[in-house]
C-alpha cells in the first residue's frame, strides 16, 4: 500500500468558528447559555418579583399597590403565623424521623439480600415511588376515614366501640407524609449501605465486636451520607408541603404551604403570600446549607 | 454488604414494611371493582367504574393535556439540559460557579414557592394561564434534573474517542453528532425519562400555572379526590399504577439485556 | 515532497498550573523526522513526549514555535484537517459502532464511495489479521484485537505520518513483544513514517530507526538506537537507557583520544573516551555498562588480557545472581564502590569454572572505548 499524502485544506475563513474553536471558555458559555437564559426568565426574574412583591401592599380589591412597606413581614411575626411556621418545621422533622425509623431497617434488609434478588426488592420500592402521590394519599383517605376501612375493621372485631377520628387530624397528616416520603429516604440509604464493604464488618468482628456493636460503630456511621441525602430529600420538601395537609388535615391543620397557597388563590393577598414564601425560602436555604456542609451534596446518591 | 442471609426478624420486618407500602395501593385497586358508590363496604364486583372512566370527557381531556405537556417539556428540557451538562462537565468558564448554583435552585426550592413565583411572573407580563404556561414551567424544573442525570453519566466519559473522530477527519459538529451523542445516549434517555415522569406527576407547580380549561391529570385526580369521590377515582388510580408497573418492568428488562455481554 | 516528514522547530508548550504559575511541558524542542522512518519519542512520564505527539496531531497548539508536516506549517489547524492519524493509548474505539464502521469512519469523513470503502476496510482488516471480524462490536474483542482495530482505523486512511501514543501499554508482556515485531514489520511493509511514543526503552531500542530521548520537556539526544545506547551524551540518557555503573572522579590527564580520570575514594585511574569538552581537574561522572566489563583470574585462559593494560584492576566478588543465560555479579571495586558486572554463561553450569564464589579475589578489565566520561549535571 503506497503512502499517499492527503492535502491540507486551509483553515476556515469564518473567524467566529475559529474563535469558538480556540476558546474553551466560549464553547462552554455557548453550551450553557440556553439554560441560563431560560432560567433567567423562569427562575431569577420570578423570584425577584416575589421579593419585590413581599414589600408591597394589598389593595382593597385584591390588587397590588406599589407602595413599599414592611407590614407583611411584621405581620408574619404574629404568634398565629409563627405557630404555623413552627408547626411546619415540627411536621417536617417528625416526617424525617419517621422515614428514618421505618426506612432504615428496610434499606438495610435490601442491602443484605443477594444481588440477584435485590433488583426485585428495589423494583417493588420504585413502583409506588413513581405512582402519582395524590393517588397514594387517596388510598390512605379511604382507609382512615370515619367510615373507612380501618374503622370498619376495628369496629367489626370489636376492638373499639366508636369510630376513631383519624382523618382530618395532625396524625393523619403525619401518616400521609411519612408514607409519601418513605421511598425518598429508603433509596439513598440503600445506596449508602450497599457501598459498605463486608470486609469492614468482618474486621470489626475479628477485633471482638458483637453484631450490634459492629452495627453501631461501623455500619451506622458509614451509612450517614445516605441518611443525610435522604434527609435533604425529605425534610426540605416536607417543609413546603401543602397537598397532604389539604387532603388529610382538614381545616385545623395548616402548614406554611397551605398558608402561601391560600394567600395567593383564596385571600388574594399576594404581597403577604410573597412574604411568607420568602420566609420559607430563607429557611430552606439555611437548612440546605446546613445539610450540605455536613456531607457534600451527595448527588451520586440521588441518581 | 455481606453475603449472609439477613436475620429472621429483619425479614419479617421487611415483609411488614412492604405490606405497609402496598396495602393502600391494593385496597385502591380492589375497590375499583366495587359496586357500591360511596366506597365504604364491599358489595359486588363490577367493571362499571372503568366504563364511566373511559367516557369521562374531563379525564380524557386531562390525559391528553398531560401527555402533550409531558412530551413537549421533555424534549425541550432534554436538549437544553444535555447541553448544560456537557458545558458543566467539560469546560471552565467565567461564571461557572454561579451557573451551577443557579441550576440547582429548582431542585432545592420548595415547589410552592416556585409555583407562586411563576404565577406572579406570568401575571405581571400579562401571559394568560393555560397549557403554554404549564409547559414553560415544567421545562424550568425539568432542565436541572436532566442536567444532573446526564452529568452523572458523563463522569466516566473517555474524551479520546472524540479526539479519535477528529483525528479521522470529523469536525466538531460531526464528532458530536456521530460519536459523542450516541455514546452518552443512555444517560440522555435516562434524563428524558426522569423529566417525562416529573412532568406527568407534577401537581403543585401545575396547580399554580394552569388556567381554566387547561387541566392535567394530577389536577383532575386531586379535584376528584377532594370533591367527587367515587370508585371512578379508584379505577383511574388502578390504571395509573398498572401503567407505572408495566413501564418500569420494561425498563428493568431492557437494562438486563444490555449488561450481560460486558467482556474485557 | 519536502525534506522532512515532520519537523518541530523550537516548539514550546506551556500549561497553566492548577496551583498557580505555569508548567513547561515542552521546552524548545527541535527535531526532524525523515520520510518512512520509525521514529520514537522516549522518556519517563511527564517528559513531554505525549504532549509533543498531540501537538503534531493537532489536539494541542504550541505556545511558541512551529510544527511542519511535509514542509507545511500547521499553525492552529485542527486535527481533522491534518494529514496525520493517531493510534490512541486507550484505543478510543467507538463502542456504539461495529468494527467495520469504526474502520470505515475515517473514509466516510473523506467522502469515499461505498464500494471503495468496503474494499479498503477489508484490506485494512486483513493487514492486521482481523479478517471477518467486521460485524463485531469492540466490547466483544480482546485487548490485543482492539488495538489492531485502532491501527487499522488509522492506517486505512493512508496518512503520511502515523502517530502512536504508547499503543502497547495495556497489553501483557508476551503479547506486547509479539506486537512490537508486528508493528515494525507493518511499518516496513507500508512504508509510511511512524512516530512512536513510549516510556519503555527496550521497546524503543527494538523498533526504532531513530530515537529522541526526552526528560522534563527537553529533547536530550536524538540518534539511532546504537548511538543512544553506546554514546549517550549526558548522565540522564546513560542512566535511562539500559543499565550502567556510575563512578565519580576528577579529570587527571587529557590525551588526543582518551582522558584519564582519577576516581574518588579508590584513587584508581580510569582511561575512557570523553563525551564533551573537559578541562583538567574537572569533576566528572564515568559510565560503564555491566556487560562491557570482563572478570578474569591470573591465567590467560579467559580472554588474553594482561595485567599491564589500562583499566585492569584487582577486585573481590561480593555476590552473584544466576539468571539462566547470564550471571549478574556484584564486585567490590575498592574505595567503597560496588559495580555490577554481567557475563553470559557460555560455559555449561555444571562446569566449576562457571561459578564465582563470594569473597573470591579476581581482576576486572574494561576497554577504554567502553568507559564513557560525562559531565556532572544538576
pLDDT per position as a tens digit, C282-320:
999 999 999 999 888 765 445 555 556 788 888 999 998
Q: How far is CA A133 from CA B25, B117, B204, in A?
A: 11, 23, 11
* Closest Cβ opposite residue C81 in set A3, A9, A22: A9
Residues A227 and A119 grouped into a single domain: yes
Residues A291 and A211 grouped into a single domain: yes
User: Which site among C79, C91, C142 would you substitute to test the B interface, given the most B Cβ atoms closer than 10 Å to its Cβ?
Assistant: C79
Average pLDDT of the residues in C122-151: 92
Residues A145 and A42 grouped into a single domain: no
Task: Give the gap in angstroms from C-alpha B257 to the nearest C-alpha of chain C.
Answer: 15
> E-assigned strands of C17-151?
22-33, 38-42, 64-69, 72-73, 84-87
Task: Give the gap in angstroms from C-alpha A31 to the nearest C-alpha of chain C.
Answer: 20
Residue A84 lies in a domain: yes
Could you give phi then psi for residue C72, rounded to 5 degrees? Answer: -100, 130
| Contact: B160, C88; criterion CB under 8 Å | yes
Residues A136 and A222 grouped into a single domain: yes
Residues A43 and A106 grouped into a single domain: no
Contacts of B148 in chain A (CB under 8 A): 299, 302-303
Say what percent of chain A tops pLDDT 70.
90
Tell me the torsion sign for CA atoms A149, A153, A159, A162: positive
* Closest Cβ opposite residue C90 in set B158, B185, B261: B158
Say what percent of chain B tops pLDDT 70.
92
Residue B74, pLDDT > 70, answer: yes
Residue A9, pLDDT > 60, answer: no
Residue A15 lies in a domain: no
Average pLDDT of the residues in C236-252: 93
Nearest to B144 by CA among B84, B70, B74: B84
pLDDT of residue A296: 53
Residue B97, pLDDT > 70, answer: yes
Residues A154 and A266 grouped into a single domain: yes
Is the entire prediction scored with pTM above 0.90? no
Q: Say yes or no: B159 contacts chain A, CB-CB below 8 A.
A: no
Q: Say yes or no: B75 contacts chain A, CB-CB below 8 A.
A: no
Quick one: which H or E segment has residue B135? helix B131-154
Name the more confident of B121 and C350: B121
Say what percent of chain A tops pLDDT 90.
11
Rounded to the nearest integer, the mean pLDDT of chain A is 81
* Closest Cβ opposite residue C140 in set B158, B182, B261: B261
- Cα–chain center distance at B131: 18
Residue A300, pLDDT > 60, answer: no
Average pLDDT of the residues in C49-53: 95
Residue C261 lies in a domain: yes
* Closest Cβ opposite residue B170 in set C80, C84, C139: C80
pLDDT per position as a tens digit, C203-236:
999 999 999 999 999 999 999 999 999 999 999 9
**Sorting pLDDT into bands at 50, 70 and 90, what band is B40?**
low
The Cα C80–Cα C102 span in angstroms is: 16
Sequence-separated contacts (24+) of B160-163 with Cβ below 8 Å: B160/C88, B160/C89, B160/C90, B160/C92, B161/C92, B161/C93, B161/C94, B161/C95, B163/C57, B163/C59, B163/C79, B163/C86, B163/C88, B163/C92
Q: Based on DSSP, count helices (H) and strands (E) in chain C, helices before strands.
A: 8, 20
Report the range of poorest mean pLDDT among A90-99, B124-133, C344-353. Answer: C344-353
Residue C61 lies in a domain: yes
**Record: fold of B49-229:** MetI-like fold (1.10.3720)
CB B202 within 8 A of CB B218: yes
| Strands of C161-165's sheet in order across | C84-87, C161-165, C193-198, C38-42, C210-215, C218-223
| Strands of C64-69's sheet in order across | C22-33, C6-16, C64-69, C72-73
**Sorting pLDDT into bands at 50, 70 and 90, what band is A302?**
very low
| Contact: B111, A237; criterion CB under 8 Å | yes
Name the more confident of B228 and B168: B168
Rounded to the nearest integer, the mean pLDDT of chain B is 85
Chains that touch A (3 or more CB pairs under 8 A): B, C
Residue C1 lies in a domain: no
3-class SS at C163? strand
Q: Say yes or no: B6 contacts chain A, CB-CB below 8 A.
A: yes
* Closest Cβ opposite residue B106 in set A43, A112, A202: A43
Sequence ranges of the domains in chain B = 49-229
Residue A119 lies in a domain: yes
Q: Mean pLDDT highest for which of A254-263, A293-302, C211-220?
A: C211-220
Residues C135 and C188 grouped into a single domain: yes
- Which of A58-83 are b and which e, b meaning 16 or more Cβ less than 10 Å from the residue's Cβ? beeeeebeeeeeebbeeebeeeebee
- Non-local (6+) Cβ contacts of A120 within 8 A are none
**Sorting pLDDT into bands at 50, 70 and 90, what band is C105?**
very high
Residues C299 and C326 grouped into a single domain: yes
DSSP string of C138-161? GGGS-HHHHHHHHHHHHHTT--SE
Task: Give the gap in angstroms from C-alpha B41 to the nearest C-alpha of chain C.
Answer: 57
Helices C143-155 and C114-127 pack at an angle, to 10 degrees, of 130
Domain end, chosen from C238, C267, C289, is at: C238
CATH number of the structural domain spanning residue C190: 3.40.50.300
Domain end, chosen from C238, C256, C287, is at: C238
3-class SS at C344? strand
Average pLDDT of the residues in C151-179: 91
Domain end, chosen from C181, C210, C238, is at: C238
| Contact: A32, B87; criterion CB under 8 Å | yes
Sequence-separated contacts (24+) of C241-246 with Cβ below 8 Å: C241/C201, C241/C205, C241/C213, C242/C201, C242/C289, C243/C289, C243/C290, C243/C340, C243/C342, C244/C287, C244/C288, C244/C289, C244/C290, C245/C287, C245/C288, C245/C289, C245/C290, C245/C339, C245/C340, C246/C285, C246/C286, C246/C287
Residue C137 lies in a domain: yes
Q: Which domain holds residue C346?
A: 243-375
User: Which site among C56, C109, C154, C167 would you substitute to test the B interface, given the most B Cβ atoms closer than 10 Å to its Cβ?
Assistant: C109
| Strands of C326-334's sheet in order across | C293-296, C361-366, C312-322, C326-334, C337-344
| Contact: A32, B105; criterion CB under 8 Å | no
Residues A160 and A27 grouped into a single domain: no
ipTM value > 0.90 = no
Residue A1 lies in a domain: no
Residues A46 and A128 grouped into a single domain: no
How many structural domains comprise chain A? 2
Average pLDDT of the residues in C166-179: 89
Residues C20 and C60 grouped into a single domain: yes
pLDDT per position as a tens digit, C13-29:
999 887 788 899 999 99
Residues C203 and C254 grouped into a single domain: no
Report the range of poorest mean pLDDT among A159-173, A274-288, B7-21, B107-121. Answer: A159-173
| Contact: B264, C109; criterion CB under 8 Å | no
Residue A246 lies in a domain: yes
Task: Give the gap in angstroms from C-alpha B159 to the nearest C-alpha of chain C.
Answer: 8
Q: Which domain holds residue A246?
A: 78-302
Say what percent of chain C tops pLDDT 70.
95
The Cα B162–Cα C79 span in angstroms is: 11
- Non-local (6+) Cβ contacts of A181 within 8 A are A95, A96, A99, A233, A234, A237, A238
pLDDT per position as a tens digit, A27-42:
888 888 899 999 999 9
Residues A111 and A219 grouped into a single domain: yes
How many contacts, defined by CB atoms under 8 Å, are there between B and C? 77
* Closest Cβ opposite residue C190 in set A3, A9, A22: A3
If you ran DSSP here, which 8-state letter would residue B176 be given?
I
Tally the residues of chain A.
Answer: 303
Residues C281 and C332 grouped into a single domain: yes
| Contact: A8, C82; criterion CB under 8 Å | yes
Residue C83 lies in a domain: yes
Residues A130 and A230 grouped into a single domain: yes
Residue B264, pLDDT > 80, answer: no
CB A295 within 8 A of CB A92: no
User: Which site among A21, A46, A153 would you substitute to test the B interface, given the most B Cβ atoms closer than 10 Å to its Cβ?
Assistant: A46
| Contact: B40, A27; criterion CB under 8 Å | no
pLDDT per position as a tens digit, A69-120:
777 788 888 888 888 888 899 999 999 999 999 999 999 888 888 888 888 8
All three cell numbers of C198? 513510549
The Cα C269–Cα C257 span in angstroms is: 16
CATH number of the structural domain spanning residue C292: 2.40.50.100
pLDDT of residue A4: 37
Residue A92 lies in a domain: yes
Name the more confident of B245 and B168: B168
DSSP string of chain A? ----PPP-PPPPS-HHHHHHHH-HHHHHHHHHHHHHHHHIIIIIHHHHHHHHHHTSEE-TTS-EE----SHHHHHHTSHHHHHHHHHHHHHHHHHHHHHHHHHHHHHHHHHHS-HHHHHHHHHHHHHHHHS-HHHHHHHHHHHHSTTSHHHHHHHHTTS-SS----TTSHHHHHHHHHHHHHHHHHHHHHHHHHTS-HHHHHHHHHTT--HHHHIIIIIHHHTHHHHHHHHHHHHHHHHH--HHIIIIITTT---HHHHHHHHHHTS--HHHHHHHHHHHHHHHHHHHHHHHHHH---HHHH-
All three cell numbers of A268? 388574594
Query: What's the half-sphere exposure (Cβ side, CA atoms, 13 Å) at C357?
Result: 5
How many structural domains comprise chain C? 2
Contacts of B119 in chain A (CB under 8 A): 264
Residues C297 and C202 grouped into a single domain: no
Sequence-separated contacts (24+) of A215-224 with Cβ below 8 Å: A219/A108, A219/A193, A222/A192, A222/A193, A222/A195, A222/A196, A223/A104, A223/A189, A223/A192, A223/A193, A223/A196, A224/A192, A224/A295
Report the range of poorest mean pLDDT among A284-298, B49-63, B144-158, C72-86. Answer: A284-298
Residues C217 and C269 grouped into a single domain: no
Nearest to A31 by CA among B170, B95, C60, C129: B95
* Closest Cβ opposite residue B108 in set A46, A137, A284: A284
The Cα C231–Cα C225 span in angstroms is: 10
Residue C212 lies in a domain: yes
If you ran DSSP here, which 8-state letter would residue B6 be given?
P
Q: Which residues pair with C287 in a beta bridge?
A: C246, C372
pLDDT of residue A303: 40
pLDDT of residue C107: 92
Residues A82 and A226 grouped into a single domain: yes
All three cell numbers of A40? 433567567
Amino acid at each position: 500500500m503506497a503512502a499517499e499524502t492527503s492535502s491540507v485544506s486551509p483553515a476556515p475563513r469564518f473567524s467566529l468558528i475559529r474563535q469558538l474553536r480556540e476558546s474553551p471558555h466560549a464553547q462552554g458559555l455557548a453550551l450553557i447559555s440556553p439554560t441560563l437564559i431560560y432560567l433567567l426568565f423562569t427562575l431569577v426574574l420570578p423570584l425577584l418579583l416575589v421579593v419585590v412583591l413581599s414589600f408591597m401592599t394589598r389593595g382593597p380589591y385584591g390588587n397590588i399597590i406599589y407602595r413599599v412597606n414592611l407590614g407583611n413581614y411584621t405581620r408574619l411575626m404574629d404568634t398565629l403565623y409563627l405557630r404555623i411556621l413552627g408547626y411546619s418545621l415540627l411536621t417536617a422533622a417528625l416526617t424525617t424521623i419517621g422515614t428514618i425509623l421505618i426506612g432504615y431497617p428496610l434499606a438495610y434488609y435490601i442491602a443484605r439480600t443477594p444481588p440477584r434478588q435485590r433488583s426485585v426488592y428495589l423494583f417493588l420500592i420504585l413502583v409506588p415511588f413513581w405512582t402519582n402521590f395524590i393517588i397514594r394519599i387517596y388510598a390512605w383517605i379511604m382507609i382512615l376515614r370515619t367510615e373507612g376501612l380501618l374503622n370498619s375493621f376495628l369496629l367489626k372485631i370489636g376492638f373499639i366501640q366508636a369510630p376513631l377520628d383519624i382523618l382530618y387530624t395532625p396524625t393523619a397528616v403525619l401518616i400521609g407524609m411519612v408514607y409519601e416520603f418513605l421511598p425518598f429516604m429508603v433509596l439513598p440509604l440503600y445506596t449508602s449501605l450497599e457501598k459498605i464493604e463486608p470486609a469492614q464488618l468482618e474486621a470489626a468482628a475479628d477485633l471482638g465486636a458483637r453484631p450490634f456493636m459492629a452495627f453501631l460503630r461501623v455500619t451506622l456511621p458509614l451509612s450517614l451520607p445516605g441518611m443525610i441525602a435522604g434527609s435533604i430529600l425529605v425534610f426540605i420538601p416536607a417543609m413546603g408541603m401543602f397537598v397532604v395537609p389539604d387532603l388529610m388535615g382538614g381545616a385545623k391543620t395548616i402548614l406554611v404551604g397551605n398558608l402561601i397557597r391560600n394567600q395567593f388563590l383564596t385571600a388574594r393577598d399576594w404581597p403577604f403570600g410573597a412574604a411568607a414564601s420568602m420566609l420559607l425560602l430563607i429557611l430552606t436555604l439555611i437548612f440546605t446549607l446546613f445539610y450540605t456542609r455536613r456531607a457534600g451534596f451527595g448527588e451520586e446518591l440521588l441518581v | 454488604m455481606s453475603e449472609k442471609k439477613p436475620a429472621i426478624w429483619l425479614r419479617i420486618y421487611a415483609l411488614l414494611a412492604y405490606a405497609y407500602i402496598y396495602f393502600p395501593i391494593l385496597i385502591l385497586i380492589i375497590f375499583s371493582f366495587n359496586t357500591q358508590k360511596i366506597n365504604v363496604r364491599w358489595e359486588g364486583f363490577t367493571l362499571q367504574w372503568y366504563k364511566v372512566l373511559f367516557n369521562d370527557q374531563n379525564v380524557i381531556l386531562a390525559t391528553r393535556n398531560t401527555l402533550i405537556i409531558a412530551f413537549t417539556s421533555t424534549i425541550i428540557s432534554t436538549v437544553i439540559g444535555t447541553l448544560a451538562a456537557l458545558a458543566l462537565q467539560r469546560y471552565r468558564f467565567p461564571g461557572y460557579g454561579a451557573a451551577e448554583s443557579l441550576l440547582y435552585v429548582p431542585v432545592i426550592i420548595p415547589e410552592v414557592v416556585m409555583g407562586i413565583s411563576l404565577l406572579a411572573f406570568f401575571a405581571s407580563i400579562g401571559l394568560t394561564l393555560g397549557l403554554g404556561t404549564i409547559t414553560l414551567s415544567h421545562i424550568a424544573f425539568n432542565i436541572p434534573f436532566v442536567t444532573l442525570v446526564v452529568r452523572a453519566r458523563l463522569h466516566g466519559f473517555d474524551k479520546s474517542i472524540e479526539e479519535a473522530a477528529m483525528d479521522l477527519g470529523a469536525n466538531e459538529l460531526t464528532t458530536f453528532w456521530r460519536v459523542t451523542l450516541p455514546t452518552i445516549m443512555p444517560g440522555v434517555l435516562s434524563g428524558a425519562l426522569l423529566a417525562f415522569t416529573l412532568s406527568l406527576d407534577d401537581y403543585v407547580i401545575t396547580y399554580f400555572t394552569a388556567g381554566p380549561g387547561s387541566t392535567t391529570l394530577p389536577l383532575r385526580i386531586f379535584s376528584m379526590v377532594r370533591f367527587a369521590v367515587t370508585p371512578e377515582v379508584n379505577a383511574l388510580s388502578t390504571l395509573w399504577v398498572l401503567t407505572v408497573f408495566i413501564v418500569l418492568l420494561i425498563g428493568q428488562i431492557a437494562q438486563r439485556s444490555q449488561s450481560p455481554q460486558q467482556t474485557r | 515532497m519536502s525534506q522532512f516528514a515532520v519537523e518541530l522547530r523550537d516548539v514550546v508548550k506551556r500549561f497553566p498550573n492548577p496551583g498557580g504559575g505555569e508548567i513547561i511541558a515542552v521546552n524548545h524542542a527541535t527535531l526532524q523526522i525523515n520520510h518512512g522512518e520509525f521514529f520514537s519519542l522516549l522518556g519517563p512520564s511527564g517528559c513531554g513526549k505525549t504532549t509533543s505527539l498531540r501537538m503534531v496531531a493537532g489536539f494541542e497548539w504550541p505556545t511558541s514555535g512551529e510544527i511542519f508536516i511535509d514542509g507545511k506549517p500547521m499553525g492552529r489547524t485542527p486535527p481533522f484537517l491534518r494529514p496525520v492519524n493517531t493510534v490512541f493509548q486507550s484505543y478510543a474505539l467507538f463502542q456504539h459502532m461495529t468494527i467495520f464502521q469504526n474502520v470505515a469512519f475515517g473514509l466516510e469523513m473523506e467522502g469515499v464511495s461505498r464500494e471503495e470503502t468496503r474494499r479498503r476496510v477489508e484490506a485494512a482488516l486483513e493487514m492486521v489479521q482481523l479478517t471477518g471480524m467486521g460485524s463485531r462490536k469492540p466490547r466483544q474483542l480482546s485487548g490485543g484485537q482492539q488495538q489492531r482495530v485502532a491501527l487499522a482505523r488509522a492506517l486505512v486512511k493512508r496518512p503520511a505520518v502515523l502517530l502512536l501514543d504508547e499503543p502497547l501499554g495495556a497489553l501483557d508482556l508476551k503479547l506486547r513483544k509479539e506486537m512490537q515485531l508486528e508493528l515494525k514489520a507493518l511499518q516496513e511493509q507500508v512504508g509510511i513514517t511512524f512516530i512512536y511514543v513510549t516510556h519503555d526503552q527496550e521497546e524503543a531500542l527494538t523498533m526504532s530507526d531513530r530515537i529522541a530521548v526526552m526528560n522534563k520537556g527537553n529533547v536530550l539526544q536524538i540518534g539511532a538506537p546504537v548511538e543512544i545506547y553506546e554514546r549517550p551524551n549526558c548522565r540522564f540518557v546513560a542512566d535511562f537507557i539500559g543499565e550502567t555503573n556510575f563512578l565519580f572522579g576528577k579529570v587527571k590527564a587529557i590525551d588526543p583520544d582518551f582522558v584519564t580520570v582519577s576516581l574518588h575514594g579508590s584513587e584508581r585511574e580510569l582511561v575512557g573516551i570523553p563525551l564533551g569538552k573537559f578541562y583538567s581537574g574537572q569533576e566528572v561522572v564515568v559510565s560503564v555498562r555491566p556487560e562491557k566489563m570482563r572478570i578474569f583470574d591470573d591465567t590467560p585462559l579467559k580472554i588474553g588480557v594482561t595485567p599491564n593494560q589500562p583499566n585492569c584492576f584487582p577486585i573481590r566478588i561480593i555476590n552473584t545472581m544466576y539468571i539462566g543465560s547470564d550471571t549478574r555479579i556484584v564486585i567490590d571495586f575498592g574505595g567503597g564502590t560496588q559495580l555490577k558486572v554481567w557475563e553470559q554463561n557460555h560455559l555449561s553450569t555444571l562446569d566449576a569454572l562457571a561459578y564465582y564464589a563470594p569473597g573470591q579475589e579476581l581482576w576486572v578489565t574494561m576497554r577504554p572505548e567502553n568507559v564513557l566520561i560525562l559531565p556532572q549535571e544538576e
